[in-house]
Structure 1
Amino acid sequence: MRYLVALLFICNSSLFFAQDKSSVNDSVKKMPTVTKEQKFKTFSKDKIKEEEKIGIKDYKIISYARDTTYLDTTISIEKEYKYNFLRKDDFELMPFSNIGQPYNSLGVTMKPNTLYPSIGAKAKHFNYMEVQDINYYRVPTPMTELMFKTTLEQGQLLDALLTFNMSPRLNISLAYKGFRSLGKYQFEEAESGNFRSTATYETKSGRYRLRAHIAAQDILAEENGGLSNKEVQFESGVDRFKDRSRLDVNFTNANNKVLGKRYFFDHQYDVFKKVGDTSKTKSNYLTLGHEFNYETKYYQFSQGTQDAFFGDAFVSEITDKANLKTMYNQGYVELGNRTLGILKGNVALYNYNYFFDSRLITATGEEIANQLKGEQITVGANYEKTIGGFNLNGGIDYGVSGELTGSIINAAASYQLKSGVKATFAINSSSKMPNFNYLLYQSDYVNYNWQNNQAFDKERVNGLLLGLDSKLLGSLSAAYNSIDNYTYFTSIASQEQVDAGQENAAVRPFQEGNSVGYLKVKYSKEFKLGNFALNNTLMYQQVDQTNNVLNVPQLVTRNTLYFSKDVFDRAMHLQTGVTFKYFTAYNMDAYNPLLGEFYIQNREELGGYPMLDFFINAKVKQTRIFLKAEHFNSSFSGFNFYSAPNYPYRDFVIRFGLVWNFFS
């Protein structure tokens, strides 16, 4: 019901905020021939040449890093890969059975995007939108985007966006992504809501600029602990158990939840700048800026009654809740010079408060703290310069005070040849504390209480990246990372506990004392012949380690053979094909629903099975329609397809949906 209300709100809002109500009914048909002056009719003070036409490139999307793209209403194989719950390519991820559940990792990204620890519960954050995931907009007319897709049993997925310019210099956007899916197995219902609202403003002179957003997000899921008798009920392929609701699960009384609220703004003022000059690389300027981010978040696990699956408990009804409040203030100065390049310096103050609403004293009288609180002062600098075909950029952030003191250093150089070939070289080095749930955790379960903030060292990662991008040869990247003090969760359960189904009763955090070397080579290339194309992505990984603390498949491949053509007198573009995905068997990480984390296990190899999807996609005007038969080989290639130990991947299912853009 709430999705219907949201849809009605978006549709009505697009009419209410139309900048030229007289052209609402025929705006889409006539959009290529309508002048900007007509569309910004109420802004007559802003002189716009009448001969300028509105095109799709006028609907601009600006990222957190201030990279600007435009609305893309085409259909392509890349759009097929991104048409999923996360709305991004999930090549290196392995989804669970139900929509909105965790994703196991088939590949690892070692380069950190922040200097500070997060709350943890990483398996529950795939759908959580961080500051870097929020886009801003500039549009000549109100623009709406609706993304719809069916889920699994009693639910739908809808991602709706409305953005409009109240004046050429003020943009507002409202967006909500909501979904619910019951799932095929017992007690695995999942649902979430992601509300975002953004605003951007620029003065008429262009000297002052402001962007801000508010985000409110909640991610909820029922947790069943996986199958309790997978060999007999799942792997045997017995007909009566093909109704997945008949399969026994470990428990049916647990839930976990992530809830977060964020308030962000970033504003800049140009102390001096040539009026009308919008190119950073060709102008001289001095800019002062300030970025503010305040966020509250909690992760909660609750269970109606204590279960031996997690071991002994202090109380019969379980309610674990970890809280994190952070406030970030950064002041920066950016200097641009035609000859010297762009130099940016910053000073930041980070306040954090990670806490539990309880006090724990162990049987030996030792007290485990319920709070990690403090502030961190960091300084940083970034540099960028283009010299001919070379582009150089680098940055450093360094903590000068505080218990979380760490550092991140990045440097990259790329060269663009006239032939279209682009070569990239990058290095990175980081030192940062593990996430807060490694350092401190409290639970109503006895074995899930620890404090390691004094015992654990900073994780140190040194990496090297080489890349080559060519239209003729394809895209190749090779990355090598050396990791010290690698931090991970694993179970120290005895074989007797494992046999009794109590492996999760002994999951704890550890740090590896030996260095871990990780190599990842990724290659992608598409071959075309007439209306047919073969799109290929191949990833090779190798880990050099003393103990098995970082487990990844050696080989992951995805190959799509598809046909595309304009049909019905070019009124529709049709795309249809088959996607094959495969990864070699390996010790796949296990999932712990109490922590919302994956943990290392070395007793069971999973993988080595093919996944085949058949799809038919079509584009009609600004509407893209998607139909897919997912994992259609599940019934005849063997019931050994798992996303994690005891958690099967989904069976054959047909799902459909669309992405629809319309303009007022």
Structure 2
Amino acid sequence: MRYIVFVFLLWGSVAFAQNPISTKKDLGSKGEEKPGKVLAKGEEEKPSVEEYKIFTIKKDTTFLDTTLTIQKEYKYNYLRRDGFELMPFANIGKPSNRLGVDFDSESMYPSLSTSALTDNYWSVNQIKYYNVPTPLTELMFKTTMAQGQLLDAMLTFNMSPQLNISLGYKGFRSLGKYNYDQAESGNFTVTSNYTSKNNRYQLLAHIAAQDVTYQENGGLTDGDTQFETGDDEFTTRDRLDVAFIDAESIVLGKRYFLDQQYKLIKKDEDSTSSIIATSIAVGHQFSYETKFSKFNQDNQYDYFGDTFLDETNDKAHLQTTYNQLNTTFSNKLLGELKGFVGIYNYNYFFKSLLITPTGTIDNQLRGTEISLGAAYSKKIGEFNLKGEAAYNVSGDLGGSFLNAEATYIYKDKHKFKASLHNESKMPNFNFLLYQSNYQNYNWQNTASFDKQNINSLNFQYSSKPYGTLSAKYTNIDNYTYFKSTATEEQINNGQENAYIKPFQESASVGYLKVKYSKEFKFGRWALDNTIMYQNVSQSNSVLNLPEFVTRNTLYFSKDVFKKAMFIQTGVTFKYFTAYNMNAYNPALGEFYVQNQQKLGAYPMLDFFINGKVKQTRIYLKAEHFNSSFTGYDFYSAPNYPYRDFVIRFGLVWNFFS
């Protein structure tokens, strides 16, 4: 199926790229505008890049960007987003530990979780929609660690000025360098957006089918002598001993989404009269999603403890349906006010019932949640105000949430932003109820766990001359986490993972994060810097993060080959202070708190050469080239090393027609 989709997309790309576009605003190699050409008699003026619009359900519209910048270098990865606050494992696509966290969630209801496995699982808010004057295709390719590739292909076209359709597939496979460490995933999406000719009816819809499959090896069992010593015998990484070679984690989900709106009253502003633009619209949003997480293992291992059966096939299911009815009043003078009622149905279940000497652990959590909410936005001069709130009036899982944001732009150079967030909801489902073939991995906490309450306040200032500075403080009540209850003797025997349990912290946890970014330019040279400071105030060590994280990139930019190509080349340095880094549990697909081993305080250096030819960006990188001479102490989690020196390359290619 994956290869069929890829061939179809590639065929469409080539077909639509037969007639290259000549843009109204001709772009130079760096992406800057050149003076437009004089059109010959009868020649049509072609659309500009700005007319190729990209947006999400939040209506945060951007346009196609084919420039080559240092920010594009940071985002050219498996997740296609900046990984400054992530510490990835050795193989591409495997879990990433957190160097920084953000507790503001998109939903007021719990998720299935397996949070370590779902970094690449796209939520409703991450799905992109398009509006393009001519067909557009984007191909992103990148090599992986061994025996595999990463391809992200997208084709979008307007069937008419009102109707757009897009097809996308992101496929990935990498064998990895360590024994039994293969990872693969697929994200298939179909999106559509429609606006009627009279602009009264609008529709957004998408279908998303996503899956990820990981081979799990439990990490190194003798890292002290085989990995950290740098012994030449073990520089071929598949020679290192791992905990097991017969386990597999799978996450699969399918979603159908629809958002539609119809304007009952639509009055456009009339410059010749006193009429103020006003509209009243009714809307409906629908989402249906099925998702499961699965952990398979052929044999029993003391690593996870005793089992009921020899073979493990743990599988958790979640089915959700969400319907929202809303009414929106929009007036140029008063702003936009939206009121809504939401109905959320959930069914979280296991296909088994566990009866123990101490009681029965249920196999299902099922119910209906009803919420009321409102949202408001208004622009007043250079001020932009936004707010949204919802409260659960029926049901046990959800509580409430409140988001408020104010933005002010001073003289088009300085941007100030202040926001606050409040939420209250139950922890994710795998904290509340879990069943497993491993005896110690069975619990039901629906009665004993309380709702997790999060309050955060964020300030941000950004300007081109002075950079971007943000400060965010978060207070968490009933912080929920996983932790091992193993004794020191059990930990020394390699049985720490056999005693993982969910916990709630009774005392409040305070978390401060301050981040500053600034680029300095010296002719063709530039130095891009990002530094982050974090401080956690807590009675017990339940939220562990590094105090400092820094990333500094020194690079050189220039047009070459008579300006036919634009290149950027340089070195990126990344470092974070040592801390009690969270450990990884494969059976749950979660990170858990550990306070026995501090990791970090090692440098990571990457050398890159990137180039741009017309609408194609080419990337070549020597990742972690210092791995062999700065010490083999680079771990992403206890027993899970970061990657060794590797050279990888790829490209991003846009086709127009």
Aligned to 1:540: 533
Aligned to 1:471: 464
Deviations 1:215-266 (A, max 9, x none): 0011000000000000010001000100001000000010010000000010
Structure 1 runs of 4+ with >6 Å offset: none
SS at match of 1:636: coil
| Match 2:150 to one of 154, 157, 172 | 157
Distance 2:43 2:133 in 1: 14
Deviations 1:24-71 (A, max 9, x none): 53323x34499xxxxxxxxxxxxxx98653111111101120111111
Higher mean C-alpha deviation, range 321-330 or range 195-204 = 195-204
Write the mapping of 1:339-350 to structure 2, written as runs, cut at 5 A.
339-350=333-344
Tell me the TM-score normalized by structure 2: 0.95
Write the mapping of 1:440-455 to structure 2, written as runs, cut at 5 A.
440-455=433-448
Aligned to 2:474: 481
Residue 276 to residue 129, structure 1, CA distance change in 2 (3 Å): farther
Write the mapping of 1:623-638 to structure 2, written as runs, cut at 5 A.
623-638=616-631
| Match 1:615 to one of 603, 608, 629 | 608
1:247 paired to 2:237: no
Aligned to 1:320: 314
Structure 2 residue identity aligned to 1:525: K
Aligned to 1:383: 376
1:503: how far off?
A: 0.2
Distance 2:292 2:25 in 1: 50
Sequence identity percentage: 61
Write the mapping of 1:4-19 to structure 2, written as runs, cut at 5 A.
5-14=4-13
Contact 2:68 2:612 in 1 (8 A): yes
Distance 2:94 2:543 in 1: 22
Aligned to 1:584: 577
**Where do 5+ consecutive residues of structure 1 fail to align?**
19-23, 35-48
Distance 1:302 1:492 in 2: 24
SS at match of 2:373: strand
Aligned to 2:637: 644
1:275: how far off?
A: 5.3
Contact 1:474 1:523 in 2 (8 A): yes
Higher mean C-alpha deviation, range 238-247 or range 61-70 = 61-70
Contact 1:205 1:275 in 2 (8 A): no
Distance 2:18 2:492 in 1: 67
Contact 2:86 2:96 in 1 (8 A): yes
Contact 2:343 2:369 in 1 (8 A): yes
Write the mapping of 1:429-440 to structure 2, written as runs, cut at 5 A.
429-440=422-433
Structure 2 residue identity aligned to 1:625: I
Aligned length: 637
Structure 2 residue identity aligned to 1:116: Y
Distance 2:194 2:160 in 1: 9
RMSD: 1.6
1:372: how far off?
A: 0.3
Deviations 1:431-470 (A, max 9, x none): 1110000000000000000000111000011111111111
Contact 2:338 2:374 in 1 (8 A): yes
SS at match of 2:159: strand
Contact 2:516 2:530 in 1 (8 A): yes
Write the mapping of 1:327-338 to structure 2, written as runs, cut at 5 A.
327-338=321-332
Deviations 1:110-139 (A, max 9, x none): 212110000010000001111111000011
1:15: how far off?
A: 6.1
| Match 1:307 to one of 288, 296, 301 | 301
| Match 1:459 to one of 447, 452, 459 | 452
1:525 paired to 2:485: no
1:558 paired to 2:551: yes
Distance 1:616 1:560 in 2: 13
Structure 1 residue identity aligned to 2:288: Y
1:13: how far off?
A: 2.6
Contact 1:325 1:353 in 2 (8 A): yes
Distance 1:51 1:577 in 2: 42
Aligned to 1:355: 349
Aligned to 2:38: none
Aligned to 1:114: 107
1:179 paired to 2:179: no
SS at match of 2:140: strand
Distance 1:204 1:452 in 2: 53
Distance 2:248 2:577 in 1: 32
SS at match of 1:501: coil
Structure 2 residue identity aligned to 1:399: N
Aligned to 1:406: 399
Aligned to 2:218: 225
SS at match of 1:496: helix
Deviations 1:613-640 (A, max 9, x none): 0000000011000000000000000000
Distance 1:532 1:473 in 2: 18
